Chains A and B, each alone.
Chain A
Amino acid sequence: MEALCQFFAIYGSLVNFIGINALLALSLYLTMAAGQLSLGSAAFAGIGGYTAGILTMKLGVPFLLSVAAGSILSGLVGLIIGLPVLRLRGVFLAIATLSFGEVVRIAVLNLDITGGAQGLVGIPNLTKTWGIYLALAVAGYTIARLRHSRIGWCFESIREDETAASAMGINTTYYKTLSFVLGAILAGFAGGLYAHLNYIITPREFGFSVAVDLLIFNIVGGIRVWYGPVLGAVLLTALPEILRGTGVTAGPIRMALNGLILLLVILFLPNGLVSIFGRTGQEREKAPVDAVPEEG
């Protein structure tokens, strides 16, 4: 027990941060489940975070209510942005969402109410570790159950082939927007929790590099099953601390290390680290070997 307390005293903030990153990775997973490559999740977290922070700090709104409000506002912005932007496919969508992220960051940097470059200072520390992990459990379970529901099948069909999906009767615009908005809502929620964790939030924490990190969590962990992004987020967030434990200071080389891991995963485990555990990724990949196609 004492050891556990000591662990938390040292690594408590890391444990919290891992949970938040896992939630954010899941928010991107929701959007990517429908095949939409978005670099806007960090900005949605920012919208949720700043909204929640401002509401508790300046208006005295109860914690949960302000986090919910941030989440809803983020979802609304997601809807407004998503409708026009989701006409784009693949890398063009990534560029559009990337510019959206920059617009949000620059807006936050220049507004008075957000505290500009200094950030929003003095947000009460109300987020508890159990709260983060409860949210993660609920989000993970919900997303797991989404698979093989009507929405899940639609997302998967659109990801695999949008034209075929629409010829099958799927309203692709609706479901793509839904995936984008659900992702924005979850990112906004995670942002709200994050804002009440550290006393201060700054625009940099929701910038481009965070958006890329979230993408890396997904790809390294695996984007075919819901626990892939969680796994990626846990490992890559904890990695610098683990390295420090072994005597290597990862600070300056963290980005290079992330890049190296990403490269290795793409080369050797195209379905992400989850494929190590078999079943979902690897077995399906191997099936063609047993199934020698008939001569035709």
Chain B
Amino acid sequence: MFVHVKDVTRTFGGVKALDGISLAVKRGEVHGLIGPNGAGKTTLINVLSGIIAPSSGEVILDNSPVQTLPAYKLAARGVARTFQNIRLFPAMTCLENVIAGQHLVALRPFFPRLFCLPSAGRQEKEHRRQAMDCLARVGIESKAHFPARALSYGERRRLEIARALASRPRLLLLDEPVAGMRQQEVEQVGSLIQSLAAEGMTILLIEHNMSFVMGLCATITVLNFGRTLVTGNPNQVSRHPEVIEAYLGASENNA
């Protein structure tokens, strides 16, 4: 197992956002995380990326415990993420957003830049090229020199994925990657995720778009009230009576 969440609890005041949750994600798999609003999905992603620390329990990443590490150290272990409410760097251009995202893989030392050494120029060029590749991968290379805030909603989500890819992560956490996107964009992101997984990247994603999750994920975990309701392949999950009652049944009309 690449990611192993063991009995993790996280409380906010008296509210148990995560109540003894356990989860295992295989290396190179696309793992879906679904559940009604308030089930603890985003909290789990926040714990996995180190944005918040669990109150108790253990998180194992690639055989070492990481539950006490801050976000920037988890990122250095190969965890990258996007945010449900999109956190781009709005004043930067798309290209600059991705270049900033290269922090972990690009050294960019100061002194060669200070003295304008040719090595600094070459390096910068190479980083721009790599950043353009990331933008091309999500299909917004034509917007490279636009400020991030000028993008449409769907483009912003894709830019956030491009920025996460810039650090060449091993585990990619996507919090509602296709929310608010047109069907065509949803399909593009779907095939992007498939190709990333084919390259060996492990992907854990939260999504409310059921056909997207069912079509893409090898394994799905359903959360409800901070607990794991059921884990299985899409077929098993969609037929599980408790899942139908807790989640799918309620949203049958608009799913």
Is the Cβ of B51 less than 8 Å from the Cβ of A160? no
A150 vs B105: C-alpha distance when bound (angstroms): 11
Which applies to chain A's interface (DSSP): helix, strand, loop or mixed?
A: helix
A160 vs B89: C-alpha distance when bound (angstroms): 5
Is the Cβ of B91 less than 8 Å from the Cβ of A142? no
Chain B residues with CB under 8 Å of A295's CB are 152, 182
Is the Cβ of A296 less than 8 Å from the Cβ of B149? no
A66 vs B227: C-alpha distance when bound (angstroms): 63
Interface size class of B (residues with CB under 8 A): 35 or more
Given contacts A149-B109, A150-B107, is CB(A167)–CB(B89) below 8 Å?
no
State whether the Cβ of A265 lies closer than 8 Å to any Cβ in chain B. no
Is the Cβ of B100 less than 8 Å from the Cβ of A153? yes
A145 vs B101: C-alpha distance when bound (angstroms): 20
Is the Cβ of A170 less than 8 Å from the Cβ of B153? no
Q: Within the complex, what minimum Cβ distance (angstroms) separates B96 from chain A? A: 8
Chain A: CB-nearest residue to B106: A150
Please indicate which of the listed interface residues A150, A153, A167, A224 has the most CB atoms of chain B within 10 Å of its own CB: A167
Is the Cβ of A287 less than 8 Å from the Cβ of B147? yes
State whether the Cβ of A77 lies closer than 8 Å to any Cβ in chain B. no
State whether the Cβ of B90 lies closer than 8 Å to any Cβ in chain A. yes
A155 vs B177: C-alpha distance when bound (angstroms): 27
Is the Cβ of A161 less than 8 Å from the Cβ of B180? no
Given contacts A146-B110, A149-B108, is CB(A169)–CB(B93) below 8 Å?
no
Is the Cβ of A288 less than 8 Å from the Cβ of B110? no
Q: Within the complex, what minimum Cβ distance (angstroms) separates B117 from chain A? A: 11
State whether the Cβ of B44 lies closer than 8 Å to any Cβ in chain A. no
Is the Cβ of A170 less than 8 Å from the Cβ of B180? no
State whether the Cβ of A156 lies closer than 8 Å to any Cβ in chain B. yes
Is the Cβ of B114 less than 8 Å from the Cβ of A142? yes
State whether the Cβ of A21 lies closer than 8 Å to any Cβ in chain B. no
A158 vs B151: C-alpha distance when bound (angstroms): 21
| Chain A residues within 8 Å of B, Cβ to Cβ | 142, 145-146, 148-151, 153-154, 156-157, 160-161, 163-164, 166-172, 224, 284, 287-288, 291, 293-296
| Chain B residues within 8 Å of A, Cβ to Cβ | 49-51, 70-72, 75-76, 80-81, 83, 87-93, 99-101, 103-104, 106-110, 113-114, 116, 124, 143, 145-147, 149-155, 163, 167, 180-182, 185
Known interface pairs A150-B108, A157-B100; 6 further A-B residue pairs with C-beta atoms within 8 A, sorted by A's residue number: A145-B113, A145-B114, A153-B103, A169-B76, A169-B104, A296-B182
Nearest 8 Cβ contacts at the A-B interface: A169-B75, A160-B89, A293-B152, A288-B150, A164-B87, A150-B108, A169-B104, A166-B71
